[in-house]
Amino acid sequence: MVNGYQARSLQEALDILSSEAVIPYSGGTDLMKKANGNATYLFLNKVPEMKNIREDRKYIRIGAGCTFTEIIESELTPAILKEAAALVAAPAIRNLGTVGGNICNGSPKADCALIFFVTDSKLRLVSKKGERVIPISEFYLGRNHTILQKDELLVEIFMNKTGFENYCYKKVGARKALTMSRVSFAAILNMADGKITQCMIAFGAVGEVILRRKEIDDMLIGRTIPEARAVKENYLAAYEQAINPVQGRISAEYKKTVCMNLLGDFLDSKGI
């Protein structure tokens, strides 16, 4: 039997979180395999402030309690995020599992977290003491380890409204469906006036956290395609140095080779 509270508003959830030793959950799909009968849970799937997908002047604001299915079906969701959400597990899991859980479980294999990394998205964290908005790259301290405080909730994810149309997303697994990523890859490259204005690359399932190295991608910013080709060797060498996969059931050598192949194929597709 699972013991817990069912919050009906964000304020109620924060009140409980500040006064009780509880574990927040929304979809609760992880509880199907690892529920702790001695723990007390705070269920958030009825908190309306965490169930919206809306937009303001600058951002698409995705409630952390939104399910993968709700993300797929929303007209506001960028195509790159829809594609990743559609490859999460099976329909039953997508109907229950939430994007907030995908982020907060701290897994480097998390499909949607990869997209939020490559798009430099921000997270809105809220407690009774106040709130803070941070880049998702600052949220992770290691595998299954984040900066989220015991009295805080991830309430929303902020994605920029434009700039993600020219993307590539690849998920490499043992089969086409119901699989965890062996390696995942997301990339965005935009141009204006003949020059590269955005180059954003991220790799999932290769290290303790999702790999996003903005300083390497900046090597291509402001260059024409011929100029980018001239520094391609140095660019790839920098990623060759940066990608140091964790050894697991899949060999580190395999993961690194796949990563470099995916990156090389992406650059080739852009004429670089």
pLDDT of residue 176: 53
pLDDT of residue 124: 98
pLDDT of residue 209: 95
pLDDT of residue 76: 97
Q: How far apart are CA 221 and CA 198, in angstroms?
A: 6
Q: How far apart are CA 67 and CA 85, in angstroms?
A: 9
Tell me which of 116, 142, 160 is where a domain ends. 160
| Total tally of structural domains belonging to the chain | 2
Strands (E), the chain: 3-6, 23-25, 40-43, 53-55, 59-63, 122-127, 130-135, 140-142, 145-146, 153-160, 167-172, 183-192, 195-204
**Residues 185 and 148 grouped into a single domain:** no
**Residues 67 and 97 grouped into a single domain:** yes
**Residues 237 and 179 grouped into a single domain:** yes
Tell me which of 129, 160, 191 is where a domain ends. 160
pLDDT of residue 36: 64
**Residues 143 and 16 grouped into a single domain:** yes
**Residues 10 and 94 grouped into a single domain:** yes
Rounded (5°) CA angle 73-63-103: 95
**Residues 175 and 234 grouped into a single domain:** yes
**Residues 154 and 171 grouped into a single domain:** no
| CATH code for the domain in which residue 198 is found | 3.30.390.50
pLDDT of residue 89: 78
**Residues 118 and 229 grouped into a single domain:** no
- pLDDT per residue, tens digit, the chain (272 aa), is 567 899 999 999 999 999 999 999 887 666 666 656 678 999 999 999 999 999 999 999 999 999 999 999 999 999 999 999 999 878 888 999 999 999 998 899 999 999 999 999 999 999 999 999 999 999 999 988 999 999 999 999 999 999 999 999 999 875 455 455 689 999 999 999 999 999 999 999 999 999 999 999 999 999 999 999 999 999 999 999 999 998 777 889 999 999 999 999 999 999 99
pLDDT of residue 180: 56
Residue 76 lies in domain = 3-160
**Residues 134 and 38 grouped into a single domain:** yes
